[in-house]
Structure 1
């Protein structure tokens, strides 16, 4: 005999609790729900956030700030890490940046000016900081700014 073959005898099995079937059942009358009130009635549930009439938490806390629905969030990449990743390339496209793993999501990319530019390089991205633009152009390179 195995563990999964164990089961209680027929006369030992418990039947399901049938409520509201008369006093003889032991669960008649109010069907174990007590007397009157919201929780005694069918469909009578109290919402999980209900606090017994006390002012609920979401109404007690003050409203603060503003969330701009038109805000564009950029994935940022520093010039230093970009040039370190693509040392031998002279032209870096947006697809290269996404494929390299420097940017996890496919968000628009902004290049920041941290790091040194030693050679002329052509970079394509959605946005550039002033310092990044200056460093690239000072080294003899060029930038291409994408829309979006």
Structure 2
């Protein structure tokens, strides 16, 4: 079965994270990103790129992103709040629950506060070259129509 979308986007906000120290451990967060990529059988193009924010406790934490051939996996952690935002977007179909299964291995138990799984690129299709050509043709027609309106 083919999907008439470009990809799937999993967006999570998790809280009540058992291992708050792991949320502030740059190496642990990096390992989480890599394991998520491998669990979903995706391929790293670049990264993980990591950053640690210092400052007021409510802003401290780690952020990381892995750029994939299929798109990206990202995380932003807030150790003092016991929360994190996790984002997985891919043009390769994936099981969102499989992505979520990695979280507990790295951060312990948690509660899901927000969970959204969205189809992205509706009507984009799987053949990106064909879709780009159609988009360019459409944009060209729109520009011609815009010029006709200006006259």
TM-score normalised by structure 2 residue count: 0.22
Which structure shows the bigger proportion of residues in helix conformation? Answer: 2
Flag the structure with more relative contact order, 1 or 2, with Cα contacts below 8 A and sequence separation at least 6.
2
Which structure shows the bigger proportion of residues in strand conformation? Answer: 2
From the CA coordinates, give the structure whose radius of gyration is larger.
1
TM-score normalised by structure 1 residue count: 0.22
